Structure 1
Amino acid sequence: MSKTLVEKIWDAHVVKSEAGFPDILYIDTHFIHEVTSPQAFDGLRKRGLPVFRPKQTIATADHNVPTVNQHLPIKEELSRYQVDMLTKNCAEFGVELYGLGHPFQGIVHVIGPELGITQPGATIVCGDSHTSTHGAFGSIAFGIGTSQVEQVMATQCLLQQKPKTMKIEVNGETGVGVSAKDIILYIISQISAAGGTGYFIEYAGSAITSLSMEARMTICNMSIEMGARGGLIAPDETTFEYLKGREFSPKGEEWDKAVVKWKTLYSDANAHFDKVLTFNAADIEPMITYGTNPGMGMGITQNVPATDKQAVPEQLSYQKALDYMGIADNSPLLGKSIDYVFIGSCTNSRMEDLREVAHFVEGKHKAEGVTVWIVPGSKQIEQQAIAEGLDKIFEAAGFQLREPGCSACLGMNEDKIPAGKYCVSTSNRNFEGRQGQNARTLLASPLTAAAAAVTGRITDVRELLEA
């Protein structure tokens, strides 16, 4: 029987399946962090249970950590408490922790792939919605709630309904200045922030398979932003080349055996998907969001869609979003002044992103009045950026290279955008207050963000690239 890639991986991990009940799904790798794990550890403690398979649980501190002076005590009381609790819980339950000061510390969805922990064909969960990032390697990866974190800790299994499957194909070549972030923002703008609800998405097509692993992670990272359970891309030679030689990747004969197995991970030619969507890469231009969900995005040269063109039941909430953003419908965003630029998050904080921005801004300087934060996704990326001299390029441009963490993605730590200020951000969400109370977030690619940083306004990066 022909199967999709999702079905192949799912079926291989089902411990028990009964009609009318969720499947009992075995979990290969469980990532945890300081925000959604304390209650789960406390639940185990109260029930007198250990972490069932601690070697398959990996912890890091990322959401609440400061991104300057990480060697000093954390200033915010709640953030300090949660990071301290993670340290104590991991020590008590025998879980490996990559905490502040550890050379492997970083954003949970960045360190898993760069360390070779994330591997094709695996089931991977974390108490964080953007766990779908790991699907770029051909794995079933999805976010879970705190009670499920405890369930995995106690049993290494989860009760899960098998999801529907969707294939999204993007074919052709992208134009100048168009990156993976633009591709995924375009897809979400076309199908809405709820268009993938109930599905696990497989991304395919020539525009997808031509991407680097870091770009593929950007695509899969934002699957949740269209309501999907997760997203994945079939592994190929690009995947294998990325994983080879990494800290926890298989070695020697084990590597050869793993690759043989990984090469079987693809959707069969006549496999049935519940839904198939196809897009042309040539239709995509640099993207930017204008509202308060990732589906409210448009090409950089377009005008904000008019309220009266929206479905009647959505017009009130649509206008509310524009009012929050201080943006008029049917207006252009090009030329609009901005205050902050944030380049980072589990979506766009990898070496490829930092190199691209550094290459673009070398010899340029940020606009007066604009604050620019470059936040690497891990300690390893930070050290590599310094080794390559990117820190000097950023410094000369007036950009601040900070230390690893989730930073201004979510307004949960010290890196917040002030009320009313506009931030062009390479993160994944633009909800009201996401980056700080009453902050206004415009999602974009690293290149578009860098263009805004040097001009002080929303700019079509293609004009600067051509110049």
Structure 2
Amino acid sequence: MKAKTLFDKIWDSHVVYSQEGYPDVLYIDTHFIHEVTSPQAFAGLRKRGLPVFRTQRTRATADHNVPTKNQHLPISDALSRLQVETLEKNCKEFGVELYGLGHPYQGIVHVIGPELGITQPNMTIVCGDSHTSTHGAFGTIAFGIGTSEVEQVLATQCILQYKPKRMKIEINGKLGKGVVSKDIILYIISKISASGGVGYAVEYAGSAIRSLSMEARMTICNMSIEMGARCGLIAPDEVTFEYIKGREFAPKGEAWDRAVAHWKTLASDEGAEYDKVLVFDAEDITPMITYGTNPGMGMKITDRIPTSEELKDVSEVTSFKKSLQYMGLDEGTQMIGKKIDYVFIGSCTNSRIEDLRMVADFIKGKKKAEGVEVLIIPGSKQVELQAKKEGLDQIFKEAGFDLREPGCSACLGMNEDKVPAGKYCVSTSNRNFEGRQGPGARTFLASPLTAAIAAVTGYIQDVRAYL
């Protein structure tokens, strides 16, 4: 029997129909929806007189457009209010369970799935949101889909997909002081570029990956999409099982034992073949930061911005120069010591309780720098409650950090939390595109630790000097 990769084992067991030269019909175990990419899909069902085929496999939440202050009040922004109300109406009409504002399970879709135990190994998961790859940390095939595909899954619980190629990225060795999972993924993307994963499903492996917590693994899989990959995944192990056990929708009793026994068989077989294998040394990874307008434009925090002459690809020179012009930065200069205006700690990349604990632990007893605005946005109501239970809210308050309510917030300029034009923001989110955090906003992507040191000093700094 041919040795199979983790990806192949899951994909092959979910193919409903396959024909040479055509996309596979792939069964979807769980479909997450939110207020932004679902309205047109529901309208399509309504027009065709179709129901949601499997309501019990569809979960909805409001996250992109929700305000992060006074969530108990009506939403003041008219467009945001319309989108959230439309989601409520559609879910009620089609019988889909909704974790809307005020619900104890509400939060960012890629935070609530794992914390509720909905996300489990050996699943196929889709959502009309590119960062669905987050769920791959559990040994699932999870990817973002377009609005027409959202309609397709609502109507049939299946999707038409061509099988991607397989890539393995191995990180071996011990991570250095001050280096966390966000640095790992920014390092990988800086090495292979924002298009280095196009056409691939990426499996992360190696001793450095195995040493990570589930929350850290989610950060890595979350940003697989930022290298152009279709999805990212990590084989489930004892860390995975321990995380899932006892959660709200996790299997219980004998069903749990059966599930774990099967999950243990999912790891890639010895000798399984990949279309591409990349190996990196954990000791070469340092705290990272981006300087440009795509996540591939990243560097070690102690390095300097490259010059046009140093670029490997001559075709990138024009976009490189345009990017630096937008960011107000010069070629060949250092980032350390760069003054910043905003710090955003949140998003589906870094808004889990582990991220908030990391920041609180570092800033305890410190104060934010004058003139810097710091937003801390928990990824869910559960994370918010846990932070308050542990007294993290008091640490943030004393430091002058603004802990708000859950939502996508300043990750994207789709709600009230925007970074003003021309201002610099150190952000733990996943994208630094032009205008991503608001028209004219300038974003530096970094880890929660690097964001925390920027918040208390007012400048980009190497956090290792302060640990």
TM-score by length of 2: 0.99
Q: CA deviation at 1:312?
A: 1.9
1:159 CA displacement: 0.4
Residue 60 of structure 1 is matched in structure 2 by 61
User: Residue 135 of structure 1 corresponds to which residue in structure 2?
Assistant: 136
Separation in structure 1 between the aligned mates of residue 77 and residue 307 of structure 2, nearest angstrom:
42
Q: 1:337 & 1:18 partners in 2: Cα distance?
A: 57
* CA distance, structure 1, for counterparts of residue 294 and residue 39 of structure 2: 29
**Residue in structure 2 matched with residue 389 of structure 1 by the alignment:** 391
Q: CA deviation at 1:309?
A: 1.7
Q: How does 1:52-451 map to 2 (within 5 A)?
A: 52-310=53-311, 311-451=313-453
Deviations 1:182-228 (A, max 9, x none): 00000000000000000000000000000000000000000000000
Distance between the aligned counterparts of 1:233 and 1:76, measured in 2? 39
SS in 2 for 1:441: strand
Within 1, Cα distance between the matches of 2:382 and 2:39? 26
- Secondary structure of 2:266 counterpart: coil
Distance 1:49 1:341 in 2: 45
Q: Deviation at 1:260?
A: 0.4
Query: What secondary structure is seen at the aligned counterpart in 2 of 1:285?
Result: coil
Query: What amino acid is aligned across from residue 215 of structure 1 in structure 2?
Result: A
Structure 2 letter corresponding to 1:409: C
C-alpha separation between the residues in 1 aligned to 2:317 and 2:48? 49
Please tell me the residue identity of whatever aligns with 2:281.
N
> What is the CA–CA distance in structure 2 between the aligned matches of 1:26 and 1:316, rounded to whole Å?
43
**Structure 2 partner of 1:453:** 455
Cα deviation 1:405-433 (Å, max 9, x = unaligned)? 00000110000000000000000000000
Unaligned runs of 5+ in 1: none
Structure 2: gaps (5+ residues): none
Paired with 2:10 and 2:292, the residues of 1 have a C-alpha distance of: 36
Superposition misfits of 4+ residues, deviation over 3 angstroms:
none
Superposed CA offset, 1:284-329 (max 9, x none) = 1100000000000000000001112222211011000000000101
| Corresponding position of 2:7 | 6
Counterpart CA distance in 1 for 2:93 and 2:262 is: 36
TM-score, normalisation: structure 1: 0.99
Q: Distance in 2 between matches of 1:229 and 1:72?
A: 38
Structure 2 distance, partners of 1:20, 1:340, is 50
Q: Alpha-carbon deviations, 1:319-362, whole Å to 9, x = none?
A: 00000000101000000000000000000000000001000000
Describe the superposition over 1:357-388 as per-residue Cα deviations: whole angstroms up to 9, x where unpaired.
00000000000000000000000000000010
Distance 2:341 2:79 in 1: 28
Letter in 2 for 1:242: Y
Partner letter of residue 432 of structure 1? E
For 1:258 and 1:153, the matched residues in 2 are separated by 26
Matched position secondary structure for 1:59: strand
Task: Quote the Cα distance in structure 1 between the aligned partners of 2:277 and 2:309.
Answer: 30
Q: Secondary structure at the match of 1:207?
A: helix
Aligned letter for 2:97? E
Tell me the secondary structure at the aligned position of residue 136 of structure 1: helix
- Deviation digits for residues 88-141 of structure 1, max 9, x if unmatched? 000000000000000000000000000000000000000000000000000000
| 3-state SS in 2 of match to 1:216 | helix
1:437 aligned counterpart, secondary structure: coil
Q: Percent identity?
A: 75
Amino acid at match of 2:30: T
Aligned length: 465
Q: Name whichever of 307-316 and 352-361 sits farther off.
A: 307-316
Aligned to 2:32: 31
Q: Please, what is the CA RMSD of the aligned residues?
A: 0.4
Partner Cα distance (2:227, 2:208) in 1: 19
SS at match of 1:142: strand
Q: In the alignment, residue 13 of structure 2 is paired with which amino acid?
A: A
Letter in 2 for 1:284: I
Distance in 2 between residues matched to 1:312 and 1:6, nearest whole Å:
35
Distance 1:319 1:102 in 2: 46
Whole-angstrom distance in 2 between the partners of 1:189 and 1:312: 17
| Structure 1 residue 181 displacement after superposition | 0.1
Per-residue CA shift, 1:158-189, capped at 9, x if unaligned?
00000100000000001000000000000000
Other structure's SS at 1:278 match: strand
* Cα distance in structure 2, aligned partners of 1:134 and 1:3: 21
Equivalent residue of 1:10, what SS? helix
